[in-house]
């Protein structure tokens, strides 16, 4: 049986051609499922802490405030390990 995962609360905004995604994770264990993008981007861990995997390999535990670099076409997954975590990602809107 596959266990359901809890997804983060997400808000989106576009300002002057910049796409901004803000994720709020209130409880430990909330996951951002594995995914990839055609572009590199940085996710700013603004509050709390997370564990990050890139291409199936855990790259570490990060504590705010810190930017997390994600290379283009890299499969990545994020798991919150403390309460009240906020992660912000931004990139050009037309990518």
CA distances from 66 to 5, 15, 43, 62, 71 (A): 25, 22, 9, 7, 16
Structure tokens at 90: 């931004």
CA 69, CA 83: separation in Å to the nearest integer?
Answer: 22
pTM above 0.85, yes or no: no
Q: What are the pLDDT tens digits along the chain (95 aa)?
A: 556 667 778 898 998 888 888 888 888 888 888 899 898 888 999 999 999 999 999 999 999 999 999 999 999 999 887 777 888 888 776 65
Short-list 18, 53, 13, CA closest to 36: 53
- Residue 60: phi and psi, rounded to 5, are 145, 175
* Dihedral over Cα of 43, 56, 9, 38: its sign: positive
Instruction: Please state, in angstroms and rounded to a whole number, the distance separating the CA atoms of residues 4 and 42.
Output: 27
């Amino acid at each position: 049986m596959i266990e359901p995962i809890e997804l983060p609360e997400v808000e989106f905004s576009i300002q002057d051609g910049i796409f901004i995604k803000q994720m709020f994770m209130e409880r430990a264990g909330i996951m951002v499922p594995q995914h990839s993008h055609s572009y590199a981007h940085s996710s700013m861990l603004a509050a709390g802490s997370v564990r990050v995997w890139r291409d199936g390999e855990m790259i570490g535990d990060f504590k705010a405030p810190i930017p997390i670099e994600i290379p283009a076409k890299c499969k990545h997954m994020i798991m919150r390990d403390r309460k009240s975590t906020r992660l912000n990602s931004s990139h050009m809107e037309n990518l």
